[in-house]
Structure 1
Amino acid sequence: MPFIPFLSYALVSSFTPGPNNIMSLDSARRLGLKKAFPFLLGVTAGCFAIMLLACYFNLALYHFLPRVKIWMNVLGSLYMLYLAVKIAKSKSSTEDNDHNEGYSFKSGLLLQFINLKIILYGITVISTFVMPYDVSYIELITISLLLTCIGFVAVVSWAIFGAVFQRFLNKHERSFNIIMSLLLLYSALSIWM
Structure 2
Amino acid sequence: MNFAAFFSYVILTAITPGPNNIMSMSNASRYGFRRSLPFNFGVFAGFLVVMSLSALFSSLLYDVIPSVKPLMLYVGAAYILWLAWTVWRDAPHEKGGRAVTNTFLSGMALQFVNVKVILYCITTMSSFILPYYHGLPVIAAFVVFLAFVGFACTLCWAAFGALFEILFKRYSRPVNAIMALLLVYCAVSMLIDI
Q: Same fold (TM over 0.5)?
A: yes
Identity of aligned residues (%): 38
- The residue that corresponds to 1:162 in the other structure is 161
Per the normalisation by structure 1, the TM-score is: 0.95
Residue 7 of structure 1: aligned partner: 7
- Maintained 8 Å contact 1:30/1:99: no
Corresponding position of 1:45: 45
C-alpha deviation, 1:48, in angstroms: 0.9
User: Structure 1's 56 and 149: CA in aligned 2 closer, same or farther, altered over 3 A?
Assistant: same
Answer yes or no: is the 8 Å Cα contact 2:33–2:158 preserved in 1: yes
Aligned partners of 1:118, 1:78: CA distance in 2, in Å? 16
Deviation at 1:68, TM superposition (A): 1.1
After TM superposition, the runs of 4+ consecutive aligned structure 1 residues lying more than 4 A away are: none
Shift of 1:192: 2.2
- Aligned-pair Cα RMSD in Å: 1.3
SS at match of 1:91: coil
Q: CA offsets per residue over residues 139-166 of structure 1, 9 Å max, x none? A: 1101101101100110000000011110
Query: 2:34 matched to which residue of 1?
Result: 34
Give the alignment of 1:141-152 within 5 angstroms: 141-152=140-151
Work out the CA distance in 2 between the residues paired with 1:72 and 1:35. Answer: 30
> Counterpart in 2 of 1:133?
132
> Match for residue 71 of structure 2?
71
Letter in 2 for 1:181: A
Q: Which residue of 2 aligns with 1:111?
A: 110
Structure 2 counterpart of 1:38, which letter?
Answer: P
Structure 1 gaps of 5+ residues are none
Q: Which amino acid aligns with 2:115?
A: L
Count of residues in Structure 1 that have an aligned counterpart in Structure 2: 192
Q: Given the alignment of the two structures, is residue 86 of structure 1 paired with residue 86 of structure 2, yes or no?
A: yes
Which residue number in structure 2 is paired with residue 182 of structure 1? 181
Residue type at the aligned position of 1:155: T
Which amino acid in structure 2 is aligned with residue 9 of structure 1? Y
Q: Structure 2 CA distance, aligned partners of 1:106 and 1:58?
A: 25
Report the Cα distance in structure 1 between the residues aligned to 2:122 and 2:133, rounded to whole angstroms: 17
Contact 2:133 2:139 (C-alpha < 8 Å) held by counterparts: no
CA distance in 1: counterparts of 2:90 and 2:103, whole angstroms: 17
1:97 CA drift (Å)? 7.2
Between the aligned partners of 1:91 and 1:167, the Cα distance in structure 2 is 14
